[in-house]
Structure 1
Amino acid sequence: MRVLVTEPLSEAGLALLRRDFQVDVREDLTDPEALAAAIGPYDALIVRSQTRVTARVLEAGERLKVVARAGIGLDNVDVEAATRRGILVVNAPQSNIVSAAEHTIALLLAQARNIPQAHAALRAGRWERARYQGVELAGKTLGIVGLGRVGAMVAQRALAFGMRVIAHDPYVPRERAREMGVDLMPSLEALLVQSDFVSLHLPRTPQTEGLIGAHELSLMKEGARLVNTARGGIVDEEALAKAIADGHLGGAALDVFAQEPPGDSPLFHLENVVVTPHLGAATAEAQDKAGTQIAEMVRLALAGEFVPYAVNLSAGAEVPEVVRPFLGLAERLGALCTGLADGALRSIECAFLGRIAEADTRVLTLAVLKGALSPIVHEPVSFVNAPIIAAERGIAVSEVRSTVSRDYVNLVALRAETEDGEVEVAGTLVGRRERLTQVLGFELEMAPARYMVFLTYEDRPGVIGRVGTILGEHGINIATMEVAREAAGGLALMGLTVDSPVPPDVLEEVRGAVRASAIRSIVLPA
């Protein structure tokens, strides 16, 4: 079997691959068109961050069984297209967490003490001690946005410098944050107004893109500094450059950019901005870990064995046939739980009822966790790191199986305890078609979709029409709608599938118009 590697991979990883496969290293194939022309004879493709694995590349890879990303992020891989073609996508989710956290601290110190600027000045023959006076970290407040695995490691290191650490992450229980010595803030705004330094540790999603814009930067303290080692596009770079140039912010340190390479960014012309070219994972240790982990995942995939780091396990092998059809449903139910929750998750109980309970359902519990955690953590979630991330966030996970199912041949039912109450959802398969059967205690039957909206309200005439009118006025097409109620005139639940995400301002308009007690827009895994 043949393996194509299009970007640098550690020698340790290459050596492992060469034991079993013919390995070609072609660093000239990062362009999608060139890659599509060359991929035909290969069984596996290994990339890092610069190679774009598009649907066209995957279509051209007639022998392709696995695409492996030697690192964490999967922004450059069309996972949905790979899944449709039965191609596994794997990554190395635990390879660079320490490196990313240490690079954050390095940038924090470099920005606070003007190290790069002073270094350049001295190399140019200028001795300018007064010009490059910095600030201490001790006694300052660090605001961490996203208290995942990298964010938690940054917090631990910042505490050792004597900093006060606060964080905003609506999916981390308050008790867990306290155990880390971190004060949890109720909102992003509450964090920004208190912080001397702000460090971002979020994935780039439709919800986080442009999260830090002109308004948010204006809320930051005079002279505060921003650090971003997470993903480009979370910060409005033009607004950040203006806030620094105007003197409102004291500076910034960036390792990631909306477009990479970024070209001539206005940030590059500001002396109090420290930049690095996406070096968060660029350590010998991280690259060795990524290389060896990916080599092992490729070996397993090509041998047709269970691949624990697969992000789309339904495309793989070694899952019981009775269980495999339920993997997508379990993941979507997990995502639905997170989307409907008001507070941070404390526990998730996964119940598998009916004939499915006769099989080993542990992989379904992992699929539930993957769905529940993927929208809220920085790194891609796999079937290996999902239980680790859950444990780190203080989420208790339990599994219940019973061959008795009252209304359905098979049923997957989830009960999640949050800081603000319980969330219950359930679903089944009708043939091979997924159906939701219970949401928030209401029984209904509807097919899950990529974009969904759920709202609860008091049952009365005119609500359905009003919701449809508002969404239509904003160009949002309703695909399906289901309504369930406790009793006539009582509490009711409306579930909609729509063709595009519903913006927050439109949700608020719907809430006010129909006096909804709760409303949620949810994006489910494709």
Structure 2
Amino acid sequence: MKIVVDENMPYATSLFARFGEVISVPGRPFDGSVLTDADALMVRSVTKVNAELLSGTNVKFVGTATAGTDHINTDKFDELGIYATSAAGCNAIAVVEYVFSVLFYFAQKGQFTLTDKTVGIIGVGNVGKILAQRLQALGVKVLLCDPPRARNEGLTVFNEFDYLIEHADILTFHTPLIQGGVDNTYHLFDHQKMSEFADGKMIINASRGEVIDTIALLRSLEQGRLWQIALDVFENEPHINLSLLPYIQIATAHIAGHSLEGKIRGTTLLVEQYYSYLAKHSPLQIESLEKPVSESLLQELLPEPQYQSIYLNEPFSLAIFYRLMNLIYDVQTDDAKFRYTLLTRDAIDLPIEVHHRFDYLRKNYSVRREWSSLNVITSCSETAKKLQALGFKIKYQPNK
């Protein structure tokens, strides 16, 4: 059995070796000739997969170690007998923690208190749900918009997008990319919506670049619209429009979900799913293998974090929370690397063309941990409860 994996999937070579031969290749550009005698293909979001790529190969299983699936076109997969799956939710926590870092950057820059603002979350799936829970745990008012869930679940907690445009101070996008149909998200935030969104508000996009109309956004900004903007995703990646950079406050190279935990979890979820697929379709090939469990594999593989424990004996405050967040991750570091790498000719030994440098940033991303990697030891019960609800690992030690 031969499994082709993206070279940027951590531990993929060793984890999939239990099933057979593993070939590690670049995800972009992708050389389809390697699939000729392959049985399975494991990719990330940079690789476009469709029936044309897989036709004439032995590939029957396609897995993407990402939550998003818009790079996988499953048309004709049924005809070819190909099963496709994703690692839904694998990087949700990482994206949420990225958004929190952006929010606190905005608050610091604008000298406001986050709990005085209303955050509108567009797309309440794996990311949006956790983001809403943590913001509410912090005492921030949230407005939720998710038309498919509102329609299918009949819940009254959801609002129309137009309501968020009017009433939210901050819009943060976490929708899949859907082109056409009743739930279209392509250019969801277009010229018309921008014209209705008041100056002084904030925009975050950590979903897909095409959810925001880039040309309309650029024209609005050139015409003097005043928003605080953070973009982790762009239209036409990796061929992004650098004209936006002078107008936006935070720009990063589609790395919001790139925590070490998130990337490893993407791999381990696919290992678990591939085992289940083989158990159903080729049980003899795995009869000697123990069933892998994603979270168990994750805990075995995670290295010791740079910061393991911290003693905290003060009542909870936003200032304390901000310092703890920055100890683990500060989005301003990634923004600085993005601008330097893309705008400085001598920054790296690569051609100046933006697509080379955008991919370089993704492939060479620094190790980033999630908040749960930090064990906070505290004697304050209020602090323990609040930080645990926000995602930190807590050890409560009351004073004797």
Q: Which TM-score tier does this pair reach, normalised by the shorter chain? A: 0.5 to 0.7
Alignment of 1:250-261 (within 5 A): 250-261=227-238
Q: Within the alignment, does 1:286 sit opposite 2:262 as a pair?
A: yes
State the AA in 1 paired with 2:217. Answer: L
- Whole-angstrom CA distance in 2 between matches of 1:108 and 1:19: 42
Q: Conserved in 1, the CA contact under 8 Å of 2:95 and 2:206? A: yes
- The aligned counterpart of 1:211 is 188
2:50 corresponds in structure 1 to 54
1:135 matched to 2:131? The reply is no
Q: Which residue number corresponds to residue 275 of structure 1?
A: 251
Contact between 1:45 and 1:67, CA under 8 Å: does it hold in 2?
yes
Q: Tell me the SS of whatever aligns to 1:15.
A: helix
Which residue in 1 is equivalent to 2:168? 195
Task: State the distance in 2 between where 1:26 and 1:190 align.
Answer: 46
What does 1:435-454 align with in structure 2 at a 5 Å threshold?
A: none
Q: Which amino acid aligns with 2:54?
A: L
Q: Name the SS of the counterpart of 2:211 in structure 1.
A: coil
* Counterparts of residues 56-455 of structure 1 (less than 5 Å): 56-61=52-57, 63-114=58-109, 134-172=111-149, 184-185=158-159, 187-206=160-179, 207-270=184-247, 272-305=248-281
Tell me, in whole angstroms, the C-alpha distance in 1 between the residues paired with 2:8 and 2:103.
Answer: 28
Contact 1:54/1:77 (CA < 8 Å) preserved in 2?
yes
- Which residue is 2:5 aligned to? 5
Q: Deviations over 1:352-380 (max 9, x none)?
A: xxxxxxxxxxxxxxxxxxxxxxxxxxxxx
Normalised TM-score (structure 2): 0.64
Distance 2:219 2:76 in 1: 39
Where 1:23 maps in the other structure, the secondary structure is: strand
Please say if residues 65 and 302 of structure 1, whose CA atoms lie closer than 8 Å, have aligned partners that are also in contact.
no
CA distance in 2, matches of 1:112, 1:242: 26
Letter in 1 for 2:89: Q
Taking structure 1 as reference, are residues 193 and 49 closer, same or farther at Cα in structure 2, changes over 3 Å only?
same
Match of 2:347 in 1: none
Give 3-state SS (helix, strand or coil) of 2:3's partner: strand
Would the aligned equivalents of 1:5 and 1:47 in 2 still touch at CA under 8 Å?
Answer: yes
Which secondary structure does the structure 2 equivalent of 1:80 belong to?
Answer: coil
* Secondary structure, counterpart of 2:98 in structure 1: helix
Structure 2 residue matching 1:233: 3-state secondary structure:
helix
Per the TM alignment, residue 47 of structure 1 is displaced from its structure 2 partner at its CA by 0.7
Report if the CA contact (8 A) 1:5-1:45 is conserved: yes
CA distance in 2, matches of 1:171, 1:51: 27
Larger RCO (CA under 8 A, 6+ residues apart): 2
Higher helix proportion (structure 1 or 2):
2
How far did residue 213 of structure 1 move? 0.8
Contact 1:14/1:291 (CA < 8 Å) preserved in 2? no
Report the CA distance between 1:168 and its aligned residue.
Answer: 2.4
Residue from 34, 39, 43 that aligns with 1:43: 39
Question: How many correspondences in the alignment?
Answer: 278
Runs of 4+ in structure 1 over 6 Å off: 174-178
Deviation at 1:72, TM superposition (A): 1.5
Match of 1:18 in 2: 17
Contact 1:193/1:219, CA 8 A, preserved across alignment: yes
Give the counterpart letter for 2:170 in structure 1. Answer: F
- Deviations 1:376-424, CA, capped at 9 Å, x for gaps: xxxxxxxxxxxxxxxxxxxxxxxxxxxxxxxxxxxxxxxxxxxxxxxxx
Aligned in 2, Cα 1:135/1:90: closer, same or farther, shift over 3 Å? same
Query: 1:287 and 1:143 mapped to 2: Cα distance?
Result: 27
3-state SS in 1 of match to 2:177: coil
- 1:306 positional shift: 9.4
In the alignment, the residues of structure 2 paired with residue 111 and residue 245 of structure 1 have an alpha-carbon distance, to the nearest angstrom, of 21
Higher strand share: 1
- The two structures have a TM-score, normalised by structure 1, of 0.49
Q: Rate the CA distance shift 1:81–1:273 in 2: closer, same or farther, 3 A.
A: farther
Q: Tell me, what secondary structure is at the counterpart of 2:52?
A: helix
**Unmatched 5+ stretches in structure 1:** 115-132, 308-526
The structure with the larger Rg is 1
The verdict on how the C-alpha distance between 1:176 and 1:108 changes in structure 2, with shifts beyond 3 A counting, is farther
Partner Cα separation in structure 2 for residue 212 and residue 70 of structure 1: 27
CA distance in 2, matches of 1:209, 1:108: 25
* Partners of 2:28 and 2:148 in 1: CA distance: 36
Pair 292,8 (structure 1): closer, same or farther in 2 beyond 3 Å: same
- Please, which runs of 5 or more residues in structure 2 have no aligned partner? 284-400
RMSD after superposition: 2.5
CA shift in 2, pair 1:152/1:177, >3 Å: farther
